Every structure is written in structure tokens, then in C-alpha cells.
Amino acid sequence: MHKNIDKIKDLESPPQVIKNLFDKNEIEKFLNLYNELPTTVHNKKQNVIKKRWLKSYSNELEELFYNKVKNEIGDFKMDNLKDEKNEDILGLFQESYNPIGLHVDAGFNLDEIIFKQTLIPLTSKGSTVIFKNKFYGNSTNFTIDKDELKVKELKYGQNFRSSEHIDMYNKKPFDRENHEKYLKHEKIENLAGLEVDLVYEWEIGSMLIFDRTRLHCSSCVIDGKKIGLTTFTKK
């Protein structure tokens, strides 16, 4: 568990969507940056391409992004792991063809005071489900899949695997209507005890901000593929 849970809790707030934060020209620059960056991971099992936002690829976008986020959440530090040169990574672009499963991006250093994470959609079709439920351990993929739970050899930056959420949130059956509409890719048993707080319908130019302690996942709403930029912050 994180050592500064009280401080982390003091910084928590409801998820928010900031509309019309980026204009078409700025979104186009983010997409151009995505195309320029080298591929970090092509996970063929999940059918997702990940690219790290490496520093100095676009100083203009770095400044633009930092200022816009600071204007919404106040002072922060980036917490996006390091590259091979021990330089800060500014964020993670993901090109997804299948939904990303239930997880939490709570970091890997339990001494840190984790803060907010942001999501900027670069394509219009898609949605992200934020749950009311919170978790104060490491970044974790939550699953009841026995094969996934056997995975112990993790590379740098990979999430832990766990089913402990099943015993944390009272095991109340998950809402079937929400499951059918947004979460058909998840076994409903894996969502026991979870309550939906917000379904963020992707909209070009907007940004989602939410606490890094929140469980969340992609919805099953995808039109071919979707591309988004995620960043993680700390205090």
C-alpha cells in the first residue's frame, strides 16, 4: 500500500471532463507527434500499439500540454517512468483495436504521492469507464483469469496482476445494463462490487482528468481503432 495514503486522499476529487481544451490544429500536432515517435510495444495479444512521449520531440507541445494541465489541476510533477537514458517520459500514446481491461494506474513507487492522470482522445469514437472504487497499491490489472494471475515475471513498467478487488468491494453483483452497454469484454463476475461513476464519451478537443487511485477500463465501444494520450502526475 502507498505510505502517504492520507495525503493522497486529501488530493482526491471527482473525475472531470474539460471540453474544448484543444483546437483542431493542436490535436493534429499531437497526431503528427504520435506518427513520428518510435513504437515502444506492439502487444499482438491485446492488439494495442504503445508509444512513449519522449522529450524534445516537440518542445512546443510539451509547453502547451503542461500549461493547460497546470491550469486545471495546479502544480504537479510528471510520473511516467523513464526512458533508456533515464529521461522523463511525458506520457503514453496507445492505439487500441480492442478494449483495455480493468486496472488502476497507481504507480510503482509506494513512497510517492500520486495525483491525477489525464486522457486526451485523438480519435472521436470510444469511451472510458471510471468506477467509484479506489485502490491504494501499485499499478495493477484486475482479473479473475487464472492464466493472467500466474504472470509473475514482469518487465519494467508492467502492471501487477491481482484478483484482490473481488474481496474489497462487498461483491455486490454488477449492473447488467451497464455491462451490456459498455463492458461486454469483461466477465461480469470480474466487476463484482464495482459501481460506475462516469462514462467518458470520447470527444476531440476534450480532456478527462481523474484520480490515479480510481479503477477504470476502456468500454467496448470502438470503431476499428482508437488513439489516446495518457499521462500520470504526482506531487
Q: What is the pLDDT of residue 208?
A: 98
Answering whether pTM is above 0.75, one says yes
CB 54 within 8 A of CB 212: no
Question: What is the C-alpha separation between 108 and 92, in angstroms, rounded?
Answer: 16
Which of the four pLDDT bands, split at 50, 70 and 90, describes residue 79? confident
**Number of domains composing the chain:** 1
The range of the structural domain enclosing residue 147 comes to 5-234
71: domain CATH number is 2.60.120.590
Q: What is the pLDDT of residues 91-110, one digit of tens each?
A: 999 999 888 899 999 999 99
Taking residues 169-184, report their average pLDDT: 93
**Beta-carbon count within 10 A of 147 CB:** 8
pLDDT in tens, 24-54: 999 999 999 999 998 887 665 667 898 989 8
pLDDT tens-digit profile of 186-226? 999 999 999 999 999 999 999 999 999 999 999 998 888 89
Neighbours of 225 (CB within 10 A): 15
